Amino acid sequence: MKKQNSWKWNKLVALCLVLAMLVCTPLGATGTYAFEGETQLGDTAPVLGESPLPDSGPSPGEGNSQPDIATPSEVPPLDAGTLTEPQKVEVVTPAAVLEVSDAAALESALGSVLYGGTIKLTGNITYPKGIMVKNKTVRLDIGPYTLDVKADTGTGFDVSEAGHVEVTGSGTLNINGVDNGLCVTDKGVFTADAAVTCTVQCKNQYYYNNYSLGNGVYVSGDSEVSLSGNVTGAMSGVQTDGSGTIRIKGNVEAAVNDLSAEGIYARGGTVTVDGNVKALYGLGIYCVTTGDVSVTGDVTGYNRGAIASGFSSVSDCTVMIGGNLKVTDTVHGRGVLFTGYGTITVEGEIFAPIYISYPLIRYDKEDTVPSDKPDYRMYQMPGYAGIVYVKDTTAYTITVVNGSGGGYYAPGVAVTITANIPAPGQQFKEWSVTPSVTFVGDTASTSSTAKFTMPAQAVTATATYEALPVNNYSITIQTDGNGTANANINSAAQGTEITLTSTSQSGYQFKEWQVVSGGVSITNNKFIMPAANVTVKAIFEPIPATTYTVTVNGSNAGTTGTGSYAQGTTVAIHAGSRSGYSFTRWTSSDGVTFANANSASTTFTMPGKNVAVTANWSYNGDSGGPSSGGDGGSYTPPTSNITTDKKPNQPTMASMNLAAPVDKNGVAAVTITEAQVKALIDTAKKDAESKGKTVDGIGVAFKIQFGADRKSVSVKLDEKTLALLEKEGMKRFDVNTPLASFSFDKSAIQEMKTQASETAAIKIKPVTKLSDAVKVLIGSRPVYDLTVSYQKNGKTKYITNFGKGVVTLGVAYKADEGEKIGNLYGVYVGRNGKLQLLANSSYAGGSVIFSRSSLSTYGIGYKAPAPAFTDTAKHWAKDNIDFVASRSLITGINSKTFAPDMAITRADFLMALGKLSGTDVSSYNTSRFTDVKSNNPAMSYIEWAVKNQIVQGIGNNEFGPGQKISRQEMAVMMHNYAKATGYKLPVSIEAVTFSDSVKIAAYAKDAVTTIQQAGIMQGKGNNIFDPNSSATRAEASTILRRFVELVIDEGTARGWSQNDSGQWRYINVSGKTVTGWLTVGDDRYYFTANDLMVSGKWLQIDGKWYYFNADGSLAINTKIDGYEVDENGVR
């Protein structure tokens, strides 16, 4: 008992000693004290300022903020027990005032100031960081100076966790933040004396979880802000959450360009602004839940002035505006809007296009206006407690007849009225307004939607209408002179059905109607009148005489005479010539009488029945020379060994991306494994099976990707990978890189496997050392060693020749500005530095492509542009003409004229084929034909073509170099050229049965089909091939370019394609031409039954009218020829 009393006494003595020492210690002093006895103290004393002031101490702003002595709450607690050794306690008392003169001193003071301390400025300071005060009271005495707080991240001034900041003095405090200017939360307080000018800014829009932030002042959690000065925020000028309070003596503004921004955003709490509030691009005031907002000045918003959105009648919002409420969006802006409960009172006037937003109803003064607001007008949402009180001003009624926009409006307000939609057959005429008003906003009395300034009296506005004017358009009927034609009327209004009639002259019959102008579609001699004058022309044709067929057997001539003829017609037949045979005579069992039965070329008069004639031959042995020219025979097309399938036979491809790491030497290297190839083969097989294309074979492609720091590329294939490619009979094997690409056909794959018995490496290595001659042509364009190598006996060997195989190469290149892609060439650079331009190269898909049977050094060259012909600028074949002219395949008839629509001659076309082949014709220095002189530029090419059985003479030792070529003859020449040069023609398009196929000679049928399916020659309009018409120089240019591109890349025949008249078609992936509707990207197109794209006119489809632009795309959402066209393209 005695010991227990002794312990209590010792502890009391210790406590007294501590208090005595605290009283005797000067402010700011520190000391160390030792205690002995049974009382045990805590290990250390707490830092002052981390505990709140005692309730008995002075509160901030009520006298001295710094206590003179430590309070008991600041003394370390005494634990029960007995002190066995003396314990040391360090006691720190804060300085009453910390004076600062620069940013560094301020930063130090902010870190060391304790609870209730004062930081005093002794000069102007710019502080480049944000300030944070937590769980302490701090007085900031700025005196007469300026403190600029400029936070480059986060909040400018942050007060939280019951922190309390009091700003005193007479100077200026400028706060600039990024997320927020001033943020006070969790029962924090920020106050500034009225004598202090405190500006707050946060002009940066900040996003967090897709929410746009950035407040000038933000308060939440029973916190408080009171300051004098202007506040500018990004998303919100000021914002409260919960029960916070904001008092601003100054103006508030939200500056960001966002329609959701708010000058004041009150989500509960109280906001008082003694000044103006403005949102440059959003809402003036947005009050939610229990918010209470009061503004003494004007409130300005862009799209909304003030919005109240209380959740219920017991948690509504209150907004008081002492000045005017303005909206700067002069078209759609709304003065007041409710989305829930609340009350909005406007002491001034509302300036907005939509005064009070729908569905608020205005009540007169004698209705439910409270007695305490006798000078106000009240507006209320039916079914809600949302109420607007507006200081009473004189308002007048607007009555709108046949339209909308009526209501009550104060004088000077801009009023919008809109007329009702006219009845069918009528159109809006004008507004009849009583009394007269002044229309504004670029509107007039004739505007169906008009604006005017409200006068100081009631207004009645009536929309008036009138009948639509009826416009009659003329109908003009023309003929070709072989008959007469008429329309049932000579003029008609739009939408009238017009009936056409025709009467042919003797010996003629009606053929068709041609639309000269007006863009109508004539069906069954009828059309619908458009809003335009129409001219149509009746076309007649001779009534065909009864014809009979002539079948020529045993002929080896290009033109045999087989065909259909009328009775009495003179029929010319030709036997041609055969190597090792002599022509003997013509015979017929149908009673034909020949003019000269012993002549290989003779005539007879067609009888009134079908006949057959036979050319007879006698065998005299193989002459050993070419069967052409000098033997007097006519042109005999040799038998072709090129096989054409009935269906398109493009392989089904599967592809894979591979990343190639770059080593320290700059080599991007990757290995294609057996597993990767097998995966692609399985994918391609399944795809082919699903499409029914297994017979067409499959292919695999690898896209190699790497970084920009590479110098060369190496792609390896091990023995198993090569074996798998050969075993599976790959039709194509592609390796594509950003520098160059390789495409190996089936034979090339087999040759690669044969030569490289083990691992093969496909390599791309830039070449930098070039001769001056090469540099002139290539310049800075890429040039690479493109090789396939393998190891044998420890040495590197190269596959320089792929035998019958073909490797299609592509060198990637982005054409410079000003370069014409038709003038870019593939260039072969020999080991001796000599170069060769590859005429059969082309630029496509960002690469110059060409096919080779050997690998070496290849690059990209450029030749000066083709001559600027004066007659090709607007021709449909201009690009193709530039292509052949720049390669000197076909030249102009002079330096300025190409003559695209002139027929091409036999000599000119064969010269083009010879140049395209790259053949050296210098050894052909003697002509076998009497009409081809040795100095004729075409002589060597003609001799080359005859020797290679591309073409033959016309008989009598003549060639006919200046004769025109028919389209079917050109097809045969191209067919034979492919055979002679070893090109394998692709089957890219389904075979077409032309409407005039009976006119195609028997000798040319196979060639026409082969060339058409390859995509080299196509038909003309109305599905005709026009075999006997002369091929023009433009058609020849087009056919040559197609040949170059298609033999390099078989797939280029697909997609958009022009026929041989320049009309556009579209060929889908199955090789069929499209008819009807086609969607490409965002555009729609329409193709006729003859697969021709419709462009530049109106067309009626399934009873609806559509307009197609000049490029063929369907016009939508526009107005054409006075017609409105909707989003579906229907007028």
Instruction: Round to whole Å and give the CA distance between 678 and 676.
Output: 5
How many of the other CB atoms lie within 10 Å of CB of 899?
16
Spell 325-337 as b/e; 16+ CB within 10 A means b: bbbbbeeebbbbb
Let me know whether 461 and 511 are in one domain.
no
Instruction: Determine the longest span between alpha carbons in the chain, in angstroms.
Output: 163
pLDDT at 367: 45
Residue 1053 has a pLDDT of: 45
Is there a domain that residue 9 lies in? no
**Among 595, 618, 641, residue at a domain's last position:** 618
Query: CA 759 to CA 767: how far, in whole Å?
Result: 25
Residues 895 and 955 in one domain: yes
Taking 60 as the threshold, does the pLDDT of residue 5 lie above it? Answer: no
Q: What is the pLDDT of residue 243?
A: 87
Residue 22 pLDDT level (bands cut at 50, 70, 90): very low
Distance CA(400)–CA(419), nearest Å, equals 9
Domain shared by 477 and 559, yes or no: no
738 in a domain, yes or no? yes
Both 756 and 836 in one domain: the answer is yes
SS (H, E, C) 571-609: EEEECCCCCCEEEEEEECCCCCCECCCCCCEEEEECCCC
* Same domain, yes or no: 889 and 1021: yes
Q: Residue 551 in contact with residue 573, Cβ under 8 Å?
A: no
Same domain, 855 and 899: no
Helices and strands counted in the chain (H then E): 12, 84
**What does the alpha-carbon distance between residue 1051 and residue 989 come to, in Å, rounded to a whole number?**
10
- CA angle in degrees (0–180, nearest 5) for 70-71-73: 125
Answer whether residue 35 shows pLDDT above 60.
no
- List the structure tokens of 456: 């100081």
Residue 368 has pLDDT above 80, yes or no: no
User: Given a cut of 60, is residue 983 above it in pLDDT?
Assistant: yes
Residue 12's pLDDT is what?
44
Domain assignment of residue 462, given as a range: 396-467
736 and 701 co-located in one domain: yes
Distance of alpha carbon 261 from alpha carbon 280, whole angstroms: 8
The pLDDT score that the predictor gives to residue 867 is 64
For residue 772, what are the contacts with CB-CB under 8 A and spacing of at least 6?
none
The amino acid that residue 91 corresponds to is V
Q: Please give the pLDDT value at position 64.
A: 37
pLDDT at position 409, please? 76
Q: Among residues 542, 560, 580, which one ends one of the domains?
A: 542
User: 742 lies in a domain?
Assistant: yes
Average pLDDT over residues 573-602: 86
Q: Which residues make Cβ contacts (< 8 Å) with residue 775, sequence separation at least 6?
A: none
Label residue 894 by pLDDT band (50, 70, 90). confident
Question: Can you give the length of the chain in residues?
Answer: 1131
pLDDT at 724: 92
pLDDT at 342: 83
Q: Is residue 948 part of a domain?
A: yes
Residue 309 has a pLDDT of: 78
**Segment 686-708 mean pLDDT:** 85
354: in domain: no
* Confidence tier at 648 by pLDDT (50, 70, 90): low
Residue percentage of the chain with pLDDT more than 70: 82
Helix (H, G, I), strand (E, B) or coil at 228: strand
Residue 525 lies in a domain: yes
DSSP 117-148: EEEEESS-EEE-S-EEEESSEEEEE-TTSEEE
Same domain as 496, residue 584:
no
Last residue of one domain, picked from the residues 1057, 1076, 1102: 1057
Lowest mean pLDDT among 214-218, 259-263, 667-671: 259-263
Give me the DSSP letters along 299-367: EEESSEEEEEEBSSTTS-EEEEESS-EEE--TTT-EEEEESSBEEEEESS-EE-SEEE-TT-EEE-TTS
Average pLDDT in the chain: 81
Cβ atoms of 396 and 409 within 8 Å: the answer is yes
The C-alpha atoms of residue 976 and residue 640 are separated, in whole angstroms, by: 7
Note whether 982 and 855 are same-domain residues. Answer: no
Q: What is the pLDDT of residues 114-165, one digit of tens each?
A: 888 999 999 999 999 999 999 999 999 999 999 999 998 889 999 999 999 9
| 1078-1118 pLDDT, tens digit each | 887 778 899 887 677 888 888 888 888 899 987 788 988 88
Q: What stretch of H or E contains 909?
A: helix 906-917
Is 967 inside a domain boundary? Answer: yes
Domain tally for the chain? 6
Task: Clarify whether residues 608 and 493 are in a common domain.
Answer: no
Residues 766 and 857 in one domain: yes
In terms of domains, do 929 and 1029 share one?
yes
Report whether 222 contacts 199 (CB < 8 A). no
Q: Among 62-66, 265-269, 500-504, 1014-1018, where is mean pLDDT lowest?
A: 62-66
Contact 211, 265 (CB under 8 A): no
Amino acid at 448: S
Determine, yes or no, domain membership for 409: yes
Q: What pLDDT, on a 0 to 100 scale, did the predictor assign at position 620?
A: 60
Q: How many CA atoms lie within 13 Å of 826's alpha carbon, on the beta-carbon side?
A: 29
Confidence of residue 379 (pLDDT cuts 50, 70, 90): confident
